[in-house]
Amino acid sequence: QVHLVESGGGLVQPGGSLRLSCEGSGFTFSSYSMSWYRQAPGKERELVAHIFSGGGTNYADSVKGRFIISRDNAKNTVYLQMNSLKPEDTAIYYCCAARAIGATVVRSWGQGTQVTVSA
C-alpha cells in the first residue's frame, strides 16, 4: 500500500525559499514517477513538477527556473526546492506517486502541506 508523507511547508516572505520533502513507503519507490501538485483556494489542482523513475524532469511554466524537483531513491524521498517564491505560489502542495499498469496510470496522494507566501 502506497503511503506518502509530505513535510517542509510553512510561511515564507516573497522572494524566500522552502524545501518540501515527501517520504514514501509501502512500494518500490525507485520504480515510480513522482510529482508535486498544488491546489490554491478556489482553484483546481495543478501539476507543479514531475520526475520520472529514470530522473528526467518537467515543470509547469509558472515555476520553471525557480523550482527544482529531485529524488533520493535510497531514502525513498522526493524533494521540491522552491526559490524566489511569490504570493501566487500559496497553495496546499501534494506529493503524488504514479505507476502505469497497462494503459492505466494509478496515482496515490499524500495528505498535503500548506505553503503560504506573504509579507
Residues 5-28 have pLDDT tens digits of: 999 999 999 999 999 999 999 999
In angstroms, the Cα distances linking 37 to 46, 74, 101, 103 are 5, 23, 21, 22
What's the pLDDT at 83?
Answer: 98
What whole-number distance in Å separates Cα of residue 9 and Cα of residue 115?
Answer: 5
Mean pLDDT in residue range 27-42: 96
The three cell numbers of residue 18 are 522552502
What average pLDDT does the chain have? 96
The torsion angles phi and psi of 30, rounded to 5 degrees, stand at -65, -20
What's the pLDDT at 101?
Answer: 86
Answer for the pair 85, 12: CB distance below 8 angstroms, yes or no: yes
Mean pLDDT in residue range 47-51: 98
